[in-house]
Amino acid sequence: MTGTRDGVDLELGSPRQRAVMAVLASRPGRVVTLSRLIGDVWGDQPPRSAEQNVYTYIAGLRRALEPGRGRRGHSEVLAGTTGGYELRLDPRHIDAGAFADHIGTSRRLQESGDHAGVLGSLDLALRMWNGQALTGIPGPFAEVERARLHELRLVALERRAETLLRLSRPEEDLLTLRDLTRRHPLRERVRELLMLALHQCGRQAEALEVFEEGRRVLAEELGVDPGPGLRACHALVLGSVDEGRRPPRQLPRELTGFAGRTREAVRLRSLLAPEDGAAPVPLVVVSGAAGVGKSTLAVQVAHEVKDRFPDGQLFVNLRGATPGVPALTAHEVIGRFLRSLGLPSTALPQDEDEAAAVWRSELDGRRMLVVLDDAAGLTQIQPLLSAPRGTGLLVTSRENLFPGDDSVRLRLDRMPHAEAAGMLATLAGAERIAAEPAATAELIELCDGLPLALRIAGARLADRPGWPVSSLVARLREEEGRLRELEAGDLAVRSSLSAGLRSLRRSDRETSRTAARVLVLLGLLNVQDTTAEVAAALLGTPVPEAERAMERLVDAHLLDRGRPGHYQFHDLVRLYAAELAREEITSPEPLHAALRYYVLSARHASETWHPQRVQPSPPDIGPGAGVRHHVGGRAEAAAWFMEEELNLTAAAAQAMSQADPRTARLGVALAFALLWAQESTYRAVELFSLNRQALEVGRRLGDEAIGLEALGHMARGLQLLGRVDDAVALLEDQLELAKRLGDRFAEQRTLGNLANTHLGGKRYERALHYAGRQLVIARGLGSRGSTRYAGLVAAEAHERLGKLVEARQEILDVLAAAEEDEDVLHQGQAQRLLGQLSLREGDGPTARHHLLRGLTMMRDCGHRLGELRCLTGLSVASRLMSDLDGAMTHADEALRLAERLGDGSWQRQARREHAFVRELLARRSTACGPDGPR
């Protein structure tokens, strides 16, 4: 505990005197009684001299706080009253008070959706800390206050991490979160945030490892399982992990307009893909200074030779020279690669040598190219280098590595003048470069022949077609070091980006000026990437015009091409664009137009993918038809949802977090439009969390219709997660609200959802009760789809209760009605249930017939859970027919789909079926010799 006055440290005295000061400072402007001081400093058993000691400490503190005050002068700072003592200081002049003030500001900013402001306030609050609070201060008050302040600091650190996640800047807090997790292994919220940050960084495998470590620690220390928050994070990460086992294709995209390094590229190709078809050189190391083009050359050549490595290409940025970020260890890299090759995390030995042995074993017999980018040194990568013959290993590093005799080193120096001039000519125009040979030569010298610097210089010239080369040379002479600052410093990056934006705005070309507008408008959206259609909505222009503007930004190095048809910002440019949007965009209309595009596109895709489903009732999204993405059929609609899922959920969450009612309603409309896509693809966590946010919007706006819809969606998410009781509670709330609003359709729909939820919870009589109630209302309303739904639930409940005659009749009634209405979904579900009945009766061929028909229909509808249940049933049917090989085929398919969908009762059943079939096959193999059964 310290204090200063006019910059001079105060002598606050002994630990007990400091304890008195701590008690007073915790209540500035309030009287603290003598008895309170004694109790807080000494506890229940103070010494006899405690009262006299307090007087002595008060006198000492007054001397420290007001050194100019006379011995008997009145104290203005530490005043004595009839009731006790009062420290008359502004709370903001006390660190704890200032900390609380900044925290309060951050909460107000959070309510207004100003996440950047929240981050700034939290940073100011956390800067108040310098070590542990009240270190060395004795007494019960200090002990309690120390713990309280420590907890407040932890909460502030957690909120800072949450804010960085909202700002899509997860990498900035990884080190802090890892340290907090190490210090507080039982604090589940910290572990959740670390998982989410790793997930946003695309490091799903590491996020899953954090969960597994937490599960183990909680079990060992407390004997409990992870809480709902950790489990939700686990489900979120699992849902994003690609279950595919196709050969990995991890190379970054090729650089458009690659120029130069001709000799080195030829050399690399000959080493990795010899013309005579021989095996590649075991190891090639490309080394050189920062910015010399090592990674660019390596990736370019890797793409050129990738066809020689049909079993896949692995790529990792080892982060050997990334400021502020720890380099990856060989063990971490091996773990990533093994997971990419299909091995589970549990297959990775903890010992590095053992992990390397597994790595070599997995590579054996494969023709793979492995690119290890930005190695810090030989020690970092040594365990990865002993790969089997036929593997191509390509390493880049700023260090001169000497791995061994069977390796080849290729050192990149500054680019030769002719190639550097050629790069500038490619970027800025051959005529301009040829017209000023002296200025070009000086420009190459100013850029030190580094490809990175030359590329930036060429882009500047291309952005300024009226500039001679000499003008740029003069600018670089005056701003020496600017490019180096651009690589390292945030402020320099901002000024450089500002110069690029000004050039676009001042251009004579309409496309450039439009591109400048797009750059700012894109800052309104907190999405992963974007398309020309979104830009067209923001601009209010035709799509081709928006696409030309986006390509202009790509040419200006302010935007990158990502996956096909998509564009993405570099993180720093995204931050810059968001700042500009906050400063310059005063009308909400551009954001509303983009959100309307997402809503209309999602609705159209949902109606195309699930034409038989009743689409959720959306809130009013405002005037204007808006543009939308067109999909041609179910498969295209499903593919569009998969491609745009992260953008759609991010846009919905962003909009619902805004205070503006119209913006929030657009976010709700988008969240509702995602219902059937999320349900079909088992995005249960996203379904629940988005609609919980929608429920909060409805309450904030006093719109019960929003709440009515959101409650049902939340319940469906919980049901998919297996949380039956929680889902039922929400549905009962929804049922009560539907009755109060007089919405009979919503009432019968909720009854149906209650029936289905109880069915999933194996409460079959309750399921029949609610299905019967739904059926009465649905028939009264003339809702044929709801009538079929109730019939299907009742049929399955009867089947589970062993009432097969009733079940069969209900299924046949539903099937006939569904065929009449061309309702493929309900036809598929009816066929599945007929197959399920046949399985109960031991009739494998009939079950197989119905389940195959159901499987086709489930796939046509994109109903993944129905597909899973059909596949699992087909495995059982094949077993009944003594076709174990066929059973294994279906069980394998079911298992792959179950892994993609995440955890749930039907997924667990698929896993059990797979294990059982595998055991039967093993028994058959054991019972057979080389010539048949023994």
| Predicted pLDDT at 234 | 85
Query: Using CA atoms, how far apart are residues 394 and 373, in angstroms rounded to an integer?
Result: 8
Indicate the pTM of the whole model: 0.51
Closest CA relative to residue 6, chosen from 104, 93, 87: 93
Same domain (yes/no): 440, 569: yes
* Angle between helices 764-781 and 784-800 in degrees, nearest 10: 160
- Residues 442, 468, single domain; the answer is yes
3-class secondary structure, 637: helix
pLDDT at 589 over 80: yes
Distance CA(480)–CA(868), nearest Å, equals 63
Parallel, antiparallel or unpaired: strands 567-568 and 560-561: antiparallel
- Considering the domain architecture, whether residues 399 and 453 belong to the same structural domain is answered as no
- Which two structure tokens, joined as six digits, stand for 279? 């095996």
Instruction: Report yes or no on 526 lying in a domain.
Output: yes
Which of 587, 602, 619 is where one domain is finished? Answer: 587
User: What is the pLDDT at residue 348?
Assistant: 76
Query: What is the C-alpha to C-alpha distance for residues 737 and 718, in angstroms, rounded to an integer?
Result: 19
Whether residues 452 and 368 fall in one domain: no
Residues 6+ apart with CB under 8 A from 29: 86, 87, 88, 89, 91
Q: Give yes or no: residues 440 and 583 share one domain.
A: yes
The dihedrals phi and psi of 800, each to the nearest 5 degrees, come to -65, -30
Is residue 213 situated within a structural domain?
no
Q: How far is CA 340 from the centre of its chain?
A: 19
Supply the CATH number for residue 844's domain.
1.25.40.10
- Shared-domain flag, residues 467 and 494: yes
What whole-number distance in Å separates Cα of residue 581 and Cα of residue 574?
A: 10
Q: How confident is the model at residue 485 (pLDDT cuts 50, 70, 90)?
A: very low
Average pLDDT over residues 905-921: 86
Domain that holds residue 479: 430-587
If one compares 579 and 450, the residue with the highest pLDDT of the two is 579
**pLDDT tier, 558 (very low <50, low <70, confident <90, very high otherwise):** confident
Cα 187 versus chain centre, distance: 21
Give the end of a domain, one of 587, 604, 629.
587
For CA atoms 702, 703, 707, 708, give the dihedral sign: positive
**Same-domain pairing of 538 and 450:** yes
Residues 389 and 290 in one domain: yes
**What is the Cβ-side half-sphere exposure of residue 39, based on CA atoms within 13 angstroms?**
6
Q: Kindly state whether residues 403 and 434 are assigned to the same domain.
A: no
Residue 462 lies in a domain: yes
Measured CA angle at 487 (ends 486, 493), to 5 deg = 30
Work out the pLDDT band at 888, boundaries 50, 70, 90. Answer: very high
CA angle 15, 19, 25 (to 5 degrees): 135
Q: What is the pLDDT of residues 245-263, one digit of tens each?
A: 467 888 887 766 567 788 8
pLDDT in tens, 115-145: 888 888 888 888 888 778 888 888 888 888 8
Query: Residue 76 falls within a domain, yes or no?
Result: yes
Lowest mean pLDDT among 214-228, 386-400, 621-635, 803-817: 621-635
* CA distances to 168, 471, 475, 482, 506 from 495, in Å: 22, 19, 14, 10, 16
Average model confidence (pLDDT) across the chain = 85
- Comparing 206 with 665, the larger pLDDT belongs to 665
- 196-228 per-position pLDDT tens digit: 888 887 788 888 899 999 999 888 888 888 888
In whole angstroms, what is the distance from residue 97 CA to residue 105 CA? 12
How distant is the alpha carbon of residue 745 from its chain centre? 37
Look at residue 191 and tell me if it is in a domain: no
In sequence order, the 6+-apart residues with CB closer than 8 A to the CB of 782 are none
Nearest C-alpha neighbor of 705 from the set 676, 677, 669: 669
Q: Same domain, yes or no, for 357 and 450?
A: no
Q: Is 852 within 8 Å of 822 (Cβ atoms)? A: no
pLDDT score at 844: 94
Q: Phi first, then psi: what are they for 288, rounded to 5°?
A: 160, 175
Q: What angle do CA 701, 704, 710 make, to 5 degrees?
A: 95
Looking at this protein, which amino acid is placed at residue 374? D
Of 568, 587, 606, which residue is a domain's last? 587
pLDDT band at 701 (very low <50, low <70, confident <90, very high): very high
466 DSSP assignment: T
What are the CA-CA distances from residue 564 to residues 69, 245, 315, 647, 651 (Å)? Answer: 76, 22, 20, 15, 20
What is the structure's pLDDT at 890? 94
Q: Does residue 604 lie within any of the structural domains?
A: no
Instruction: Please report, for residues 59, 328, 337, 359, 419, the alpha-carbon distance to residue 342 in angstroms, rounded to integers and kept in the order given.
Output: 73, 21, 9, 12, 43
Q: Give me the CATH number covering residue 344.
A: 3.40.50.300
CATH no. for residue 451? 1.10.10.10
For residue 484, the model assigns a pLDDT of 42
**Is residue 195 in some structural domain?**
no
- Give yes or no: residues 403 and 468 share one domain: no
Residues 356 and 446 in one domain: no
Q: Helices 330-340 and 204-222 meet at what angle, rounded to 10?
A: 110
pLDDT at residue 599 is higher than 60: yes
Mean pLDDT of 39-65: 86
Rounded-to-integer distance, Cα 426 and Cα 408, Å: 31
**pLDDT tens digit sequence for 57-83:** 888 888 888 877 766 667 778 888 877
Position 503 scores a pLDDT of 66
Q: Give the tens place of pLDDT for each residue, 713-725.
A: 999 999 888 899 9
Decide: 565 and 531 in contact? Cβ < 8 Å: yes
Whether 142 is covered by a domain: the verdict is no
Note the pLDDT tens digit of each residue in 730-760: 999 999 999 999 999 999 999 999 999 999 8
DSSP letter for 761, please.
Answer: T
Domains contained in the chain, number: 4
